[in-house]
């Protein structure tokens, strides 16, 4: 886009009338990263500047004549937006004007002196950095925002402003898959308001929590710094939460230093966690409980955390109180829980309802029966009859010896062990709430990407640390017999060194708790699969459930039923409105329906 550049040139020599016409046009084009300003258009640089960034406005406080005008700008914040007033000179004075409406953002400002910055010689492995260049990129960036709890942006806003000279959107792309795995936004202050300090700033740095590559965030920051340095910027600022130790460590490593610069925001539902005290023990909740507590708190539903470590909390509204453990609530009966708890019982119940199930037998049978079963199906799955989070599940076994070892391991979880016919395909999780499909996602087995230097064991440990950091410790890759067996079948060992860019699947199971990744396919799931999930939920008579199917493809109708999870992890399915639909079920009158409505198979 060249209009901001034209505006800058207008200040340097064109007539006031032509300049005024261009600025008026900028104000009326709401889909542009609009720069707005006050009435003093004869000044050397723009006054009272705000920059629209899609999630809200960046308000440059240093361009405002006084705190009253700055307050007036903040009071124009739109619904479901997060405006940020940055470079506040006197935050105490501004807050005193509207203490019930404003708060001081609990973030630190860090600055990188670009004249002293040195380019790194290290090249990214397995990904590269480029500008946002398509509508698909914009949708991928929004998905990352959702996964990180950030305010989403209309994809057409990104797309319309992809060629902006004042705002730059960079993305990291995985070389092997073509997926967007990270993003960062940069703002050139000089191009926005002819900043005499030639400053710039970094916003919305985010990396996909399922990213399998290390150093994505660092490379995005470096590329943005190099971009602004080439443009002649003197520094690059950023704002980071005071307790985000991991991010602060990265910025300090790159040469950023703290500066006494402050930001002020409005007290709105999006910012609520920043200016109110969360419920007692909130920080001890896992992501699966926290996403529901956040949604309830946003709606004004009272929250009492009864056991943070176990994920238990009680929600209350209008005289109604419901005790929950993550997505399991008192609305789920003990009978439904019992059905889901025993995989053999689950299979029999849904089979009677017409759901397709794989052939199954108990491992208590003799070796001869196991050999016959294996001969008939060639490959089998071994799993404990009762268990969760993928523990002791072995997939794709081809020999009796492997089956017997897997059975022995499964018996450490449950005395009863099941053998099941193996179905070649993808692992599909469908979340059904109130007997309607809310989300569908393919779960993929954990894998590492070689760099030609590290062993597979080292790569697994690095990947586990990244997954644990991204999921609050909920997802790691075990180094156990199942991992060793999977590697051996593919011709590897833990001390093998894969070549650079080589992808190695390290486990067959795709469970998230054992390092698997999840990929949203809600928009593409075949109606027959959605119907099967809802029929299974009705058969079990369970209002909230995760139905696991093995499918040829989410877009095709072929499937077999695997199991039902009475406590599905709702946090794994963003940007789908799983927490919203869950609270709708518990307290139907507490909020408006999301723009993304749950749907029945017939719709």
Mean pLDDT of the 346-358 span = 94
**DSSP class of 423:** -
Q: Which residues of 105-140 are buried (b: 16+ CB within 10 A; e: fewer)?
A: bebbbbbbebeebeeeeeebbbbebeebeeeebbeb
Mean pLDDT of the 545-565 span = 94
Helix (H, G, I), strand (E, B) or coil at 395: strand
Mean pLDDT of the 432-452 span = 91
C-beta separation of 7 from 23 below 8 A: yes
- Is the per-residue pLDDT at 40 higher than 60? no
- Is the per-residue pLDDT at 8 higher than 50? no
Interatomic CA distance for residues 392 and 389, integer angstroms: 9
What's the pLDDT band for 420 if we cut at 50, 70, 90? Answer: confident
pLDDT tens digit string along 275-306? 887 777 888 899 899 999 989 988 889 999 99
- Is the per-residue pLDDT at 568 higher than 80? yes
* H helices, E strands: number in the chain: 19, 28
Range list of β-strands (E), 480-596: 503-505, 517-520, 544-551, 559-565
* Pair of tokens at residue 436: 């309607």
What is the predicted pLDDT for the residue at 462? 84
Interatomic CA distance for residues 147 and 470, integer angstroms: 10
pLDDT tens digit string along 488-514? 888 899 999 988 888 888 887 777 778
C-beta separation of 132 from 166 below 8 A: no
Alpha-helical regions (H) of 82-215: 91-97, 135-147, 155-160, 189-193
Query: Minimal CA–CA distance to 104: which of 338, 265, 250?
Result: 265
Count of beta carbons in the 10 Å neighbourhood of residue 175: 14
pLDDT tens digit string along 228-242? 999 999 999 999 999
- Is the per-residue pLDDT at 138 higher than 50? yes
pLDDT tens digit string along 145-201? 988 888 889 888 988 887 888 999 999 999 888 999 999 999 999 999 999 999 999
Mean pLDDT of the 383-412 span = 82
C-beta separation of 57 from 50 below 8 A: yes
What is the predicted pLDDT for the residue at 86? 97
What's the pLDDT band for 592 if we cut at 50, 70, 90? Answer: low
Determine the CATH number of domain 111-259: 3.40.630.30
Indicate the range of 94-103, 209-218, 343-352, 591-600 predicted with least confidence: 591-600
* Pair of tokens at residue 345: 């019982």
Interatomic CA distance for residues 31 and 94, integer angstroms: 30
Neighbouring residues of 59: CB distance < 8 A, sequence distance ≥ 6: 49, 50, 70, 73, 74, 83, 84, 85, 86
How much of the chain, in percent, has pLDDT values that exceed 70? Answer: 89
According to the 3-state scheme, what is the secondary structure of 429-463?
EEEEECCEEEEEEEEECCEEECCCCCCHHHHHHHH
* Pair of tokens at residue 215: 């150093």
Q: Checking phi first, is residue 116 left (phi over 0); if not, alpha (psi -120 to 50) or beta?
A: alpha
Alpha-helical regions (H) of 356-443: 367-377, 400-410
What's the pLDDT band for 36 if we cut at 50, 70, 90? Answer: low
Interatomic CA distance for residues 18 and 199, integer angstroms: 27
What is the predicted pLDDT for the residue at 123? 83
Interatomic CA distance for residues 422 and 373, integer angstroms: 11
Look at the pTM and tell me if it is higher than 0.75. Answer: no
What is the domain partition of the chain in residue ranges? 3-106, 111-259, 281-329, 446-507
- Is the per-residue pLDDT at 461 higher than 70? yes
What's the pLDDT band for 389 if we cut at 50, 70, 90? Answer: low
């Amino acid at each position: 886009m060249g209009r901001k550049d034209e505006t800058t040139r207008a200040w340097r020599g064109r007539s006031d009338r032509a300049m005024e016409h261009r600025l008026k046009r900028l104000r009326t084009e709401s889909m542009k990263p609009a720069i707005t300003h006050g009435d003093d258009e004869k000044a050397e640089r723009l006054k009272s500047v705000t920059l629209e960034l899609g999630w809200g406005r960046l308000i440059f406080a240093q361009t405002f004549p006084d705190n009253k005008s700055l307050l007036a700008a903040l009071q124009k914040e739109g619904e479901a937006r997060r405006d940020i007033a940055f470079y506040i000179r006197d935050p105490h004075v501004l807050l005193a004007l509207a203490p019930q409406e404003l708060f001081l953002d609990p973030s630190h400002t860090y600055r990188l002196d670009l004249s002293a910055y040195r380019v790194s010689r290290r090249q990214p492995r397995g990904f590269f950095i480029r500008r946002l260049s398509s509508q698909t990129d914009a949708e991928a960036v929004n998905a990352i925002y959702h996964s990180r709890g950030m305010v989403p942006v209309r994809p057409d806003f990104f797309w319309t402003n992809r060629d902006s000279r004042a705002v730059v959107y960079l993305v990291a792309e995985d070389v092997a898959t073509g997926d967007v795995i990270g993003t960062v936004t940069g703002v050139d202050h000089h191009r926005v308001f002819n900043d005499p300090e030639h400053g710039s700033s970094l916003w919305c740095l985010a990396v996909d929590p399922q990213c399998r590559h290390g150093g994505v965030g660092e490379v995005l920051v470096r590329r943005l710094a190099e971009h602004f340095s080439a443009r002649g910027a003197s520094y690059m600022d950023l704002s980071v939460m005071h307790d985000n130790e991991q991010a602060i460590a990265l910025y300090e490593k790159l040469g950023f230093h703290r500066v006494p610069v402050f930001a002020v925001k409005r007290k709105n539902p999006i910012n609520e966690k920043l200016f109110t005290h969360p419920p007692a023990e909130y920080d001890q909740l896992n992501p699966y409980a926290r996403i529901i507590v956040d949604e309830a708190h946003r709606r004004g539903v009272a929250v009492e955390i009864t056991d943070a470590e176990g994920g238990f909390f009680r929600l209350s509204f209008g005289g109604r109180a419901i005790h929950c453990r993550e997505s399991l609530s008192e609305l789920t009966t003990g009978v439904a829980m019992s059905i889901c708890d025993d995989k053999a019982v689950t299979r029999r119940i849904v089979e009677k309802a017409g759901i397709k199930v794989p052939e199954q037998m108990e491992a208590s049978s003799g070796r001869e029966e196991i050999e016959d079963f294996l001969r008939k199906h060639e490959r089998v799955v071994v799993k404990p009859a009762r268990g969760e989070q993928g523990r002791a599940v072995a997939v794709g076994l081809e020999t009796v010896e492997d089956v017997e070892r897997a059975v022995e391991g499964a018996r450490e979880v449950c005395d009863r062990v099941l053998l099941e016919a193996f179905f070649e395909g993808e692992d599909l999780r469908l979340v059904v709430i109130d007997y309607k499909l809310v989300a569908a996602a393919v779960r993929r087995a954990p894998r590492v990407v070689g760099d030609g230097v590290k062993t597979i064991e080292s790569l697994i440990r690095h990947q586990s640390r990244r997954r644990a950091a991204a999921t609050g410790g909920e997802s790691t890759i075990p180094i156990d017999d199942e991992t060793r067996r999977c590697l051996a079948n593919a011709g590897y060992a833990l001390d093998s060194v894969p070549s650079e860019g080589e992808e190695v699947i390290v486990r067959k199971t795709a469970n998230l708790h054992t390092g698997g990744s999840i990929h949203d396919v809600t928009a593409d799931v075949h109606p027959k699969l959605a119907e099967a999930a809802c029929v299974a939920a009705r058969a079990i008579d369970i209002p909230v459930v995760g139905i696991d199917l093995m499918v040829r493809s989410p877009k095709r109708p072929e499937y077999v039923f695997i199991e039902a999870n009475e406590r599905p992890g709702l946090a794994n399915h963003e940007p789908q409105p799983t927490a919203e639909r869950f609270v709708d079920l518990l307290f139907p009158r507490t909020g408006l329906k999301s723009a993304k409505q749950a749907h029945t198979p017939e719709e």
